[in-house]
Structure 1
Amino acid sequence: MQFKLEKRPRPSQAMLYLTPVAAVVLTMLIGGAIFSLIGYDGMGAVREIFLTPLTNSYKWQDLGIKAAPLIIIGVGLAVAYRANVWNIGAEGQYVMGGVFATGVALTTYGVTGWWVLPLMAIAGIAGGAAYAAIPAVLRTRLGVNEILTSLMLTYASVQLIYYLVRAPWKDPMGMGFPQTRIFSEAARLPTIIPGTIVHLGVPIAIVVALLVWFVMTRSLFGFQIRVVGAAPHAARYGGFSENRTIWLAFLVSGGLAGLAGMLEVAGPFQRLVPGFPTGYGFTAIIVAFLGRLDPLGVIFAAIVLAITFVGGELAQTTIGLPAAAAGIFQAMMLFFLLAGDILVRYRVKRVVHQSAEARA
């Protein structure tokens, strides 16, 4: 007796969008049970990670700060994955965006003018796109799978940061700490709500998601992305170049990741430090799939993941959960989401093999 997957009829839209909700609920229930079994307050963990950030008004500003980069990177990855381009290196592109933006901030140190932040944004987008171009070249010219190349480049970008903050960009007044000097006022994102830490990057993230949604649903570029990803043969028949689409998908996803890096280095960090690689690029993969590769869905998915980030920090101080608790819940969420997708699209069928004698 064996089991095999049999494709179901096309699932309804309601079923597709209920699966992420079910994945979140299952994560809370099973995650709480697991933490209870290993000796922690499981229900307390679920409460602190998923509910307290929503009920504590002082944490709402933290949700906006955490969600903004996840929205921007997640939207870019949604575009790439729609085109069947598996960019796993958004974290490295995010880092390179921060590095390029820091280069502009340090070069213009002490300069005043409204143009400094836009110039940093352009540099951040260029840095992320340029880094994404490397796996694009390797796939289109040499046929190298982009999953491995984009992922490995992430670790190279992290080492570049370590070198820069310990040698050429090290703050001479930083008492030996590996960091750059703090940016001048013109290179820092302004706060948009007085008395809070909510900076200009939060509304920018929402605007980016809305613009990408409009482009993906109302433009030839969006149609090209969807067709190449869903039906490559039909795309070729329609005159769409697969290699050109791969390039566009990489440049868009890398550029948006670089923009997120610029907003982070100019907002919460205000300087480049070794801790700048925060894992947003990897978490945004969960965001993209939880949002069903839809820019509007990505907004809500990013808020859910931001809740786990903020709640994970709270749970460490209130009930003594380990720092990795939020990551465990995020991984479980992705697992249940992917498992739910398989069960929605396929059903498990039992196959019974008869012996030769029985068939005779």
Structure 2
Amino acid sequence: MSNPFAAFFPVKLELRAVPSRNMAYFSPVLALALTLFFGALLFLALGKNPLSGLQVFLLEPLKTRSSISELLLKTTPLVLCALGLSICYRANVWNIGAEGQLIAGGIAAGSTVLMFDNSAHLLPGGMVLLLASLAGIAGGALWAGITALLRDRFNANEILVSLMLTYIAQLLLMYMVNGPLKDPHGMNFPQSRVFSSEFLLPVLFAGSRLHIGFAVMLVATAVMTVFVYRSFAGYRLTVGGLAPLAARYAGFSSRRALWTSLLISGGFAGIAGAFEVTGPIGQVLPSISPGYGFAAIIVAFVGRLNPIGSIFGGLILSLFYLGGEMAQSRLGLPSAITGLFQGMLLFLLLACDTLINYRLRWLKPAANAHTA
């Protein structure tokens, strides 16, 4: 990489011949350590004790069984979205719209529950939850399919399309909770009716909100691990992302990779949205997600695009969410503290990856053009 500031900083980044694979997996750990260091400096700049701030941010959410269950609860949608995004990024398809796909899945799932949640009770609760989950998958996949269609037919940039569709999904959600799904007895609040208890996901432990979606997430992680590392379809997607020319020579379809990766990604984000509305929320609200779809991008890269690694990344990001809430209530810090830690982690992860793949080389001084 050339250095445009060579006159002031006589160094350049030179690509390493054989980047260290062990260092590639150590990079998230180093980035996390640096995030905590700069986070301590941030607390100090805000007039807080750095050690006390980090304790509230990182340790308080892990002290009780209830807080740990909340940590795992937030990990579920993050990991589900990250599983799909990892498939996209492996195939060199840059889906940035998991948040919109999650919202679309939540709308579809919530609409399905409300259709059956009436006095007639045409179907048992378990069957309705299954239909709602399938509707969530279909809704998320359909929303991601719009991106695939525009990229396939018109060569539209999937980064911009998927991102802009997120804002359309948010506006669609606002329309639904103010229109077709609005609770007629909700005192004009933009929200749907609260779902009956039998149409909510069963919890895994009494006294907690951790629902069966967490177990589904673990199973999905195992399935995606086999898909990525032990299936021909996963190998085909990975080769298409790493070496498009080689994949084309081998007869692998880039068009199939585009559709497959985006539909899988949208399906995972959609079921994450379905689990949110039928789980901890219990109704359709204007804010189904606090940004899980965007945070899942960081989760995927912290996890090295590895399904099992996504669990590690999901735990870290969900800890940031809970730590941010603790910092607001106990330290009086603004809610933006969560976004600051997420941004620092991503920035430092990219910096660590750059230094792993490249090395700094000092430029030799230019020869003196004047002769004696």
Moved over 6 A (4+): none
Whether 2:65 is the aligned partner of 1:73: answer no
Q: How does 1:198-347 map to 2 (within 5 A)?
A: 198-347=210-359
The aligned counterpart of 1:159 is 171
Whether 2:66 is the aligned partner of 1:58: answer yes
Percent sequence identity is 44
Q: 1:316·1:323 contact (CA, 8 Å) conserved in 2?
A: yes
Q: Deviations over 1:62-93 (max 9, x none)?
A: 01110000010011101110000000000000
Q: How does 1:76-95 map to 2 (within 5 A)?
A: 76-95=84-103
Alpha carbons of structure 1 residues 36 and 359: separation in structure 2 relative to 1, 3 Å: farther
CA distance in 2, matches of 1:358, 1:138: 59
Whether 2:191 is the aligned partner of 1:179: answer yes
CA distance in 2, matches of 1:155, 1:249: 21
- The Cα of 1:359 is off from its aligned counterpart by 8.8
CA distance in 1, matches of 2:202, 2:42: 42
Q: 1:96·1:157 contact (CA, 8 Å) conserved in 2?
A: yes
Aligned residue for 1:348, secondary structure, equals strand
CA distance in 2, matches of 1:290, 1:109: 40
Q: 2:66·2:208 contact (CA, 8 Å) conserved in 1?
A: no
Aligned partner of 2:107 among 99, 116, 122: 99
CA distance in 2, matches of 1:276, 1:358: 69
- The Cα of 1:137 is off from its aligned counterpart by 1.2
- The Cα of 1:44 is off from its aligned counterpart by 2.2
Quick check: 182-191 or 97-106, which moved more? 182-191
- The Cα of 1:352 is off from its aligned counterpart by 3.8
Q: Deviations over 1:125-183 (max 9, x none)?
A: 01000000111111122111111110011011111111111122110111111100011
- The Cα of 1:235 is off from its aligned counterpart by 0.4
Amino acid of the structure 2 residue aligned with 1:123 = A
CA distance in 1, matches of 2:117, 2:101: 24
The aligned counterpart of 1:41 is 49
Amino acid of the structure 2 residue aligned with 1:42 = P
The aligned counterpart of 2:142 is 130
Aligned residues: 360
Aligned partner of 1:21 among 29, 36, 39: 29
Q: 1:49·1:326 contact (CA, 8 Å) conserved in 2?
A: no
Q: Deviations over 1:247-301 (max 9, x none)?
A: 1010000110001000011001110011213200000000000000000000111
Alpha carbons of structure 1 residues 29 and 359: separation in structure 2 relative to 1, 3 Å: farther
TM-score by length of 1: 0.96
CA distance in 2, matches of 1:255, 1:280: 15
CA distance in 2, matches of 1:212, 1:219: 10
- The Cα of 1:13 is off from its aligned counterpart by 2.5
- The Cα of 1:10 is off from its aligned counterpart by 2.2
CA distance in 2, matches of 1:263, 1:166: 22
CA distance in 2, matches of 1:358, 1:191: 80
Amino acid of the structure 2 residue aligned with 1:9 = A
Whether 2:202 is the aligned partner of 1:190: answer yes
- Alpha carbon RMSD of aligned pairs, Å? 1.5
Quick check: 183-192 or 60-69, which moved more? 183-192
CA distance in 2, matches of 1:277, 1:162: 13
Gaps spanning 5+ residues in structure 2: where? 1-6
Aligned residue for 2:13, secondary structure, equals strand
CA distance in 2, matches of 1:127, 1:168: 17
Aligned residue for 1:116, secondary structure, equals helix
Amino acid of the structure 2 residue aligned with 1:192 = L
Gaps spanning 5+ residues in structure 1: where? none
